[in-house]
Amino acid sequence: MSKNLDKSLPALEVLYRYYDQISILETKIPSHEVQIPFKWKDAFDKGSIFGGKVSLTVASLGYEKACVLFNIAAMQSQIASLHRISDTDEELKSSARLFQLSSGIFGHLKSAASVMGGQEPTPDLNPETLSALSTLMLAQAQEVFVTKAIQDKMKDAIVAKLCAQAEELYADSMRQLQKDTVKHLWDKEWLPTVAGKQAAFLALGHFFQAQVNATNKKIGEQIARLSHSIETFKIAQQRSGNPNFFSDYANKASRLLAEAKKDNDFIYHERIPESGSLAAIEKVQSARLAKPLPVGERLSTNFKDLFDELVPVAVHQAMASCDVRKTEMTNSRIGQLREATQLLNSILASLNLPHALEDSQSSSSEVPQSLIEKSQTIVDAGGSAGLNQLINEMPELVQRNKEILDESERLLREEEESDDQLRGQLKEKWTRTPSSKLNGTFKTNAARYREIINNALTADEVVRGKFNSHQQAIEVLGGGQAALLQFLPRDGSSMKAQGSQAARDALKQLMIQVETLRGEREVLEARIKNMNFDLKSPFLSALAQDGAIDEPNLSTELLGHAFSPLERQVKDSLEKQESLVVAIQQNSDEYFGRRDLTKDNASQRDQVMRQLAEGFDAFTDLQNNVREGTKFYNDLTQLLLAFQNKISDFCFARKTEKEELLKDVTRSASNVPAQQPVPPARPPPPSFNASAPNPYTSAPAPLPNQQPPQPTGYNPYAAYAPVPPPQGYPYPVQQMGYAPHYYPPQPQQPQQPPHQ
């Protein structure tokens, strides 16, 4: 046990947390991929004297867990021993529980041979050693229950039975401690103390059973049991080598014996039976309160996983694949809703609703209320100038991504050219692997990133073209009610009422339902975007249960369960729109008559109102496009920065190897003695325009060995699905003579404390 930990419950909690942490790590780190050697010494440090192992080193987290558990059990027994001498109920209860926990752990460790890697365990982890320790802890727990029963002044018959069970447990413990294979391990006072306690609890049982006899007026049996108790107390003192061992009870038994003999001589005159003929004290299972407590899944009551985000590679890959599927489903469902909303807007615009409905009941000198509301929405959003500014910022984001990708490709190109040049000069002396065979993955991903950027530029042109087409209408709406009044013609609407008041009321109600439907879709779209569920636990469970993950089927099941309620809502929304459109067209024809606003016979006012309605719809779509496009480029920036870092690491490692190989070639030619290599300086990152805004400072780029987030496509960018993150570092650094300082250090052999 580490001497840095005192014998206290807070110190024990430290061990609990460490054990819980490595237990979780064991489920996350593949044993065949990470080999960390753990060295532990024999707890009793007597193995070498009798031919056993003094220490053992095993590259297994399971072995580390077993050794830490041994230490936990040892610490529990030490704290329990301190609490046992207390008179308080709480500490006695704590003592009994800790002894039982310790017994459970030692029993659990008897199966620890499976984590030894086929090696012989140190003597402390031998199954017979652990069995003896488990029984000894149990006997001490039962002793605490006896102490508690006496302190609580329980009935003598109950205390006698508890003592009988304690005697039985100490007898079993003594038999196991005396086995030839383990008896040399114990300190010299262990066996005498255990043997003394076995005799002492036998004597104590007879002592309390004698009190039962006295109550029942069985004076002869009382005298016989007290006599036998006194003799057995003496045996206990002889075995333990301590003349004061249980002396209080021995003295009390002597006093009671004298009183009982006196009463028998003068009053009862009962025959005193021989001690050998006395009935054994009844042993019932209920009197054995001490039982090994099982090792729980978690020992700490206040545990927080330090590596909560760490998962096995297989789980990480499965989660990434499932996340891609989730993104595709999310974009698909949102796309359905947006396409349906655009169709609804175009139908309403073709019918000039709801503006014509308002205009039919007002004078041509007024602006329909629905247009006023649309105008206020655009004003609040910054108007045409605000949207135009956001669109103009997009090229700067694209340029930054292009610069990062250009720098990455330059590093790869220059490294490969340098390698080819030296290979051409030195011929067969240049023996290292050609760069062209190592950088293929980087080149492939660079080409795919280049394609993404080019496609996104095309999407930007679509956005810009849509804005230009509707710029006039957006500017008018952004000018407020005064601009609308000036822009709208006053020639009167051609869509005057021809139908009944009932048709008009129905249309008004339908327009309210349209607005309700739009609001519901906004909420539904937000729920779809923000829909999250636990992926890690199902994949971890599948890996633990089957040893592999059937990602496609499991992902389909998880996504189906998560999206099922939302898909029903999407379907209901689309069906609701179909019925709304039919009702709107029927009531519009009845109220206005059949009119086509695209024909020349439509009034100029009707056509302008339709133009403004389309401009508002375009403004709403463009806002979403620009917002999502900005996120798209910022996410792509993180991917490209991670990609560039990997390439920079690759090039630096290749440069280091090149310098070493050049020195070897030079020494071979001139027979110059080898000198200590000096690693070259790491190349600096590419420089950017300091005056340009940095849109991704709020989201720092991931480290090279982290999984960067996938950028989310958007409409019209949604068609260009992002490529997966670049593959792992392809160059075997461990084959090089020198590893750069910024690579993760190789695991060192830990200096673990011995078990005790």
Domain extents for the chain?
A: 1-153+291-310, 311-350+501-594
Q: Are 711 and 331 in contact (CB under 8 A)?
A: no
Could you say which DSSP state residue 29 is in?
S
Q: Are 488 and 609 in contact (CB under 8 A)?
A: yes
Q: Are 293 and 100 in contact (CB under 8 A)?
A: yes
Q: How many residues does the chain have?
A: 756
CA-CA-CA-CA torsion sign (66, 72, 75, 79): negative
H or E stretch covering 323: helix 313-350
| Phi/psi of residue 431, nearest 5 degrees | -95, -5
Could you say which DSSP state residue 266 is in?
I
What is the structure's pLDDT at 460? 87
Bridge partners (DSSP) listed for residue 55:
41
In the numeric block, which tokens belong to residue 675?
A: 């000198």
The one-letter amino acid code at 559 reads L
Buried (b) or exposed (e) across 706-715, using 16+ Cβ within 10 A? eebbbbbbbb
Give the Cβ contact number of residue 297 at 10 Å.
7
Give the Cβ contact number of residue 701 at 10 Å.
18
Which residue carries 């029993």 as its tokens? 107
Which residue carries 């480029």 as its tokens? 633
In the numeric block, which tokens belong to residue 99?
A: 């002894």
d(CA 418, CA 425): 11
d(CA 528, CA 510): 26
DSSP string, 93-126: HHHHHHHHHHHHHHHHGGGGGGGSTTPPPPGGGS
What residue ranges of the chain have pLDDT lower than 70? Answer: 1-4, 30-34, 46-52, 284-287, 359-365, 491-499, 593-602, 670-756
In the numeric block, which tokens belong to residue 566?
A: 């939302």
CATH C-level class of 1-153+291-310: mainly alpha
- CA-to-CA dists, residue 312 to 530, 548, 559, angstroms: 26, 11, 21
As separate numbers, helices (DSSP H) first and strands (DSSP E) second, the chain gives: 18, 2
What is the structure's pLDDT at 725? 38
Tell me, rounded to whole angstroms, the distance of Cα 745 from its chain centroid: 24
In the numeric block, which tokens belong to residue 130?
A: 């652990």
Tell me, rounded to whole angstroms, the distance of Cα 556 from its chain centroid: 22
CA-CA-CA-CA torsion sign (140, 144, 150, 155): negative
Which residue carries 């419950």 as its tokens? 9
d(CA 708, CA 404): 16
The one-letter amino acid code at 225 reads R
Q: Are 311 and 548 in contact (CB under 8 A)?
A: no
How deeply is 143 buried, as exposed, middle or buried, from its count of CB atoms within 10 A (0-12, 13-18, 19+)? buried
Q: What is the pTM (predicted TM-score) of this model?
A: 0.53
H or E stretch covering 39: strand 38-41
Q: How many CA atoms lie within 13 A of 609 on its CB side?
A: 35
Q: Identify the CATH homologous superfamily for domain 311-350+501-594.
A: alix/aip1 in complex with the ypdl late domain (1.20.120.560)
How deeply is 628 buried, as exposed, middle or buried, from its count of CB atoms within 10 A (0-12, 13-18, 19+)? middle
In the numeric block, which tokens belong to residue 219?
A: 């004076």
d(CA 275, CA 298): 51
- Of 31, 23, 61, whose CA–CA distance to 547 is shortest? 31
Bridge partners (DSSP) listed for residue 41:
55
